[in-house]
Structure 1
């Protein structure tokens, strides 16, 4: 006789505590089998030493060890297409309900709908919960029910709504004994899923009271390296957004709090306007005659543009999988405005390299610098990559760290003249959007 149970499906919520779907599953009237699926649809597009895959794998192994040592349970690991894995699970177990947390990206929405329909035919309910955000979908909309397209009014209503919000942390410790008692659930190695250990690593995040209090003073200066490194941990759920908001409120730091709100703003934009993953939010911007010079794109990717702050940012990204946020805006603007290369090329490169890649924020920010998105930088705002140095790295500490040949005869010449590139950009953009 097959074992009756409920399933909790871990995805981008890789933590045992303050995990809404996991909490609700554990409180259900069946023992819970936790699972993770290495989705072959996603993995086949990634390089074999992808740092994010190593990070996910190592995090899951730590979670498995905790459950094995303390609760005589584990997490069952699978590799393949999620629908095929669920067909296998239905044959192995008497599944009553499947619990998981919402995922908002276009592929995830399609995948979940497919799983939901399959399970429904088996008489199994598919229950999903809000976990990776405070507010989602239609939680923060205008009075007429339409979504906000500008950040500031969205942020103000977000904060006003939060004051009346039933805010709580979902502690799971009291319910972990409701897990299936089996510490030898299926496991996988990195090689089993076609990967090898990455030479890069995702650093732990730092959200100390001092960092939050000093955030506004230090966040724009890449040499200080005083950002929280929270991005990948929110992306993969190793950090709880509720606990992070609680910290921001405790330190009364509006700027840190508002960065968390930006993340949710872009998420709801992608939810309401899924076409923006590939097309400009403002359709007339898809009329831009991009130059799309492949040789120039490669120089940008390699950090060989001759503009030291741009090159430092790209080399930091290639070497570490991270780039300081202030520098991200500059390198994005340089690609779209100085080189007239389609923002989608840059977005795809960041998607491959960034440890904290999140489709909604990446697309939102790339469309911002290109001028094509919601609440975008106007197309005639073109960062000067030289004067930006004086503002944000005047001692050249960040530049010297990543471009050691800077200020020597070995440094490459500027690939384009700023003034000429600016005039060319304004002409091309004006022709497309006016």
Structure 2
């Protein structure tokens, strides 16, 4: 690392990058400045908009911020000089960062880039406020491997189809893109908070404890490393196991990638050498990381997708207005066990298996005929790993309104999906204990059981478990007609 000016001071503003290693903005600050402060803001513009004061994500962030504070102190102590730690504020980020930067006398505020429209607007406002104070503002690529305009087609335009994007993405990816950003402070370089810092408790932020502590979800950068090590032992089987919700097949790293307690480069470095040698599990995992970059790129170039279809013609789809069907989906009482179990998993844990996200989204839009934006907002309220780019991209894929979407005439059969990916009904029984006695032959669709079979299980359809709110075959035909009508009127 080159010597930094001894007299300059910087402020690193942490957001969705809650770790003290392989951190682009922190690495740049240490390279360019003699003294570096670190800060985090519990932004009331974000927190006040949350629908519940009991939110697992806030608790996860709070625990991870506490861990980051300790990690920064430990990093400073390695140089033999006490220091480091986080300055923590609770308020509007725009006000807090400008005031803090001025009070600390810094010459630059450094952040890792955020690609969401609201975050971009916030950062522009902060940069403007800092410029008025004579303070520089810089943002750095950290939460993706390749961003914005780094992967373009031959016409120098952003891709809208994933497969050619992935080929170009893989061609651009190299050891340099995967290299860690060093965080190696010299003694005394990481400055402690100007006054002893007492980090606010969760309750002081206006939030209550959730069941996060009872879930198998370790927090902070150490929790991310724990899960990464566990996944490394299963990586080679990822392509075979990832679609089965009753198996331990996925990485469970999504929330850590969302809040940056895990570096995306470290996640990719796990797979990169194995993928190059032809390991199918590593190749599929690397492809999943590519999807993540792809959706960030789409959101950056097409911010209208937040509220509109990526393909404008699909904004004319006539979705049904069916409050009873919406309530059945919302309360996990559709009569389709895999759908209901997946929604209960979401409500009880804040997590939903990726295969089931597709099934549940397809069911809402293609079986119930409801607007994808309803489901997208519900996921946004409940998913621990909620990420606007990926969530929006996934819902538009399922609804056939997005880029490289599932063709509108291909419609998931929820019963077939259940039989294929939860053949013994183990996942279903975990979240629908009322179906515990239903044999595997009928667990996927109890409505097909004869009265004597229901009696043998002690199951009363319509009471213990609901009857199906729609019949898939007729719902499928209605969806095909919906899109045929759209195509006919567009011609």
TM-score (norm 1): 0.96
Q: Hey, what's the Cα distance between the residues in 2 that align with 1:44 and 1:367?
A: 27
Farther off after superposition, 292-301 or 50-59: 292-301
Alpha-carbon deviations, 1:382-432, whole Å to 9, x = none?
A: 111111122111111111111111233222111111111111111122212
Structure 2 partner of 1:198: 210
Picking from 317, 338, 357, the partner of 1:309 is: 338
Distance 2:269 2:152 in 1: 23
What SS class does the counterpart of residue 41 from structure 2 fall into? Answer: strand
Partner deviation per Cα, 1:246-295 (whole Å, 9 max, x = no partner): 10113322101100000000000000000001100111211111113222
Counterpart selection for 2:249 from 211, 214, 226: 226
- Tell me whether 1:323 sits opposite 2:352 in the alignment: yes
CA distance in 1: counterparts of 2:198 and 2:155, whole angstroms: 50
Structure 2 residue 477 is the aligned partner of structure 1 residue 423: yes
Q: Relative contact order, CA 8 A, sep 6+: which one is greater?
A: 1
What residue in structure 2 maps to residue 53 of structure 1?
Answer: 58
- For residues 166 and 351 of structure 2, what CA distance do their matches in structure 1 show? 26
Deviates more, 1:91-100 or 1:370-379: 91-100
Decide which structure has the larger Cα Rg and report it.
2
Q: How many residue pairs end up in the alignment?
A: 432
Q: 1:231 & 1:132 partners in 2: Cα distance?
A: 12
State the partner residue of 2:20.
16
Pairwise CA distance, 1:227? 1.0
Offset, 1:174: 4.2
Give me the whole-angstrom Cα distance separating, in 2, the residues matched to 1:34 and 1:186. Answer: 15
Correspondence for 1:213: 236
C-alpha distance 44-305 of structure 1, shift in aligned 2 (>3 A): same
- Aligned counterparts of 1:239 and 1:188: Cα–Cα separation in 2: 24
Match of 1:224, SS state, is coil
Quote the Cα distance in structure 1 between the aligned partners of 2:10 and 2:475: 59
CA distance in 1, matches of 2:156, 2:164: 14
Distance 1:415 1:270, change over 3 A: same
Q: How does 1:338-417 map onto structure 2 within 5 Å?
A: 338-406=367-435, 407=438, 408-409=459-460, 410-417=464-471
1:27 aligned partner: 31
1:249 aligns with 2:272: yes
| Aligned-partner Cα distance in 1 for 2:35–2:181 | 19
Name whichever of 361-370 and 157-166 sits farther off: 157-166
Q: Where does 1:47-196 land on structure 2 (aligned, <5 Å)?
A: 47-68=52-73, 70=77, 71-163=82-174, 165-175=176-186, 177-182=188-193, 184-185=196-197, 187-196=199-208
Which 5+ residue runs of structure 2 have no aligned equivalent? 1-6, 219-223, 276-281, 439-458
Structure 1 CA distance, aligned partners of 2:118 and 2:420? 40
Query: Do 2:178 and 2:266's aligned partners in 1 also have CA atoms closer than 8 Å?
Result: no
Q: What stretches of structure 1 of length at least 5 have no aligned partner? A: none
Of residues 265-274 and 86-95 in structure 1, the stretch that sits farther from structure 2 once superposed is: 86-95
Q: 1:266 aligns with which of 264, 278, 295?
A: 295
Partners of 1:167 and 1:308 lie apart in 2 by 42
Are the equivalent residues in 1 in contact too, given 2:98–2:126 (CA < 8 A)?
A: no
Aligned residues: CA RMSD: 1.7
